[in-house]
Amino acid sequence: MVEITGLKLKRMKCIAMEGLIEEGKELIDEIEKGPVLDAGLIGAAQKVEHYEISGYGTLLAMAKHLGLDSEAISLLKETMAEEKSTDEKLTNIAEEGGNQAATLS
C-alpha cells in the first residue's frame, strides 16, 4: 500500500507488539505442554490479532480522511478482514474445547 500512496515510511519498533509476543514466550517457558498452555496461547494469539485489528482500523480511518484512492482503502479493508477472520478462527478453537479442556486440567 505504501507504494500506491507514494509515502516514505520510517521503520519504527513496536514495543507493545514486542510485549505481546514476549507474553506468549513466557507462557511457553512457564507452563507445561497441554491444554492449559494451549488455552493460554490461544489467548495470547488473540491479543495480537486484536492489536492488529485496531491498528488497521486506525489506518483505514486515516486513509479515508486523507482521501486516499479506493485501491489503498480496499487493501486495508482486505487486510483487516483477514485479521478478523483469524481472530474468529481462534475463538472457535477456544469455544470448541480448547479452553474447556484447560479448566478440567
pLDDT in tens, 13-55: 899 999 999 999 999 999 999 989 999 999 999 999 999 999 9
With respect to residue 9, please indicate whether it lies within any of the assigned structural domains: no
Nine cell digits for residue 70? 479506493
With respect to residue 28, please indicate whether it lies within any of the assigned structural domains: yes
What gap in Å lies between CA 6 and CA 89, rounded to an integer? 35
CATH number assigned to the domain comprising residue 70: 1.20.1260.10
Q: Give 68's pLDDT tier (boundaries 50, 70, 90).
A: confident
What pLDDT, on the 0 to 100 scale, is given for residue 101? 56
pTM of this structure: 0.78
Residue 2 scores a pLDDT above 60: no
- Number of domains composing the chain: 1
Nine cell digits for residue 90? 481462534
What gap in Å lies between CA 51 and CA 20, rounded to an integer? 9
With respect to residue 85, please indicate whether it lies within any of the assigned structural domains: yes
Q: Rounded to 5 degrees, what angle do the CA atoms 101, 104, 105 make?
A: 90
Question: For residue 67, what are the domain limits?
Answer: 16-94
With respect to residue 7, please indicate whether it lies within any of the assigned structural domains: no
Q: What is the mean pLDDT of residues 76-98?
A: 91
